[in-house]
Structure 1
Amino acid sequence: MMEAYFNRIKKPIVDKRFYDLFLDVKKTAVITIDMHMGHLSEDPDCPCPSPRAREVVEPINDFNDKCRQLGIPIIHVRSVLRKDGSDDINGNISAWRLLFPETVGPIPGMDDHALEGTKWTEFGIDVKETDYIVDGKKRLSAFYPSDLELLLRNMKKETLILTGTMLDCCLLSTATEGANRDFRIVIPQDLSRGYEENEEATLRIISMYFGLVVDSPDLLKQWRETLAESQSSLQV
């Protein structure tokens, strides 16, 4: 029986509706969020460093490889802003650009974050030829104002596995918007990182209102068992 974290308590999922709505491998897509060098680089000029996210680069690569083997599509979403700054810093500036430095301190080079044509938009995780890339993210949510929803609807995918960086910011925003669009959200807690002091609270909030919080090995095990059962029934 699959287990998930409900308000940070791990327990078996008893309600069978979860298996149909959140754990159907055939309805699932994996979405990595903002795993680009603007967050992952160790360069001192990195415009918005997320050093804890480097911990999950290889675990995400490994997870994605296993998902590809199961036939689950991988979608990489990243922020890319027009190079003249008209999408943000020279237009209606994003609130986080003003608020975040008040907590973490000055961020040198922040104005270069996610600008098209810079090295900061290059992916820091493995991207395969069969993967999908969504470049239109210009605010916190992967849905705004990108074509992510159009892609998912066309692929007939209803369950979204969210991994990546800025758990308490971009993943939370994406989980909220996704749930409000009636997508089923699943967050493997071992494949996401955010501002450390906010992670526990973020996972509590997601598990109470927006989606399942799980461990990725449990998720893979559940999918494999489901596919094996399906294959066995076809052979009978």
Structure 2
Amino acid sequence: MIRHLIAASVLALLAACGGSGGSDNETAATSFITPGADVPETAERGEDGVPRDDYGRPYDYAFLGREIPAFDGTMVAGPLFSTQELENQWTLIIVWGLHCHDSRADADLISELWTEVKDREDLALLTIHTPASAERADEAYGKYNAIEDFFEEKGFNFPTLVDEDASIRETLKIAWTPSYLLIAPDLTVQGFRSNLSDAEADNPVQGLLADIKAVQSDWEPLADEDKPAEY
């Protein structure tokens, strides 16, 4: 019984962050996913129902095409944050955690993204640092004592909201770290991807920005009568 419980816990953690080794699947979930995208027949679904490739990366996101739930918290730099600040602008939200090797592998790319967009008016960036779960909150920072220690060591300073107890993670139904969410001015999620370091593009950052630009060019807000009942 104990062995089964340990195995289940390990599988849950791997599904939240990453398995051992990369995927050889030609249809791996390594691209930018937009509302209505097809899920390959090769997708595997665990107890959470999330379709994943053989590395664990999701092919879908719970709120893709829907309005992102409201959340709030405190930034590393000190100010309070709420979802009202996302209104009437495009925002790329990146959910990550120092406990996760895939997140650490993406950290340089996140910093590069911040350098690219920090002075732009057409796209804002927000990262959310979160533990793997509420039960593992004390492991959120890995070998570091705090996010500030990691930033100081690496020379990073991208804007980061701190999810101390995984409550924001649960609210946003994040099934993987790192997760990249493109939020439209009407607060709907118009794009999703997992590990940027696994992107198919030669230049992952420029590839993601190109994907975002394509979505922005084609996007039109839904009329009230066309919105799903859960809006």
Q: TM-score range by the shorter chain?
A: 0.3 to 0.5
TM-score by structure 2 length?
0.36
Structure-1-length-normalised TM-score: 0.35
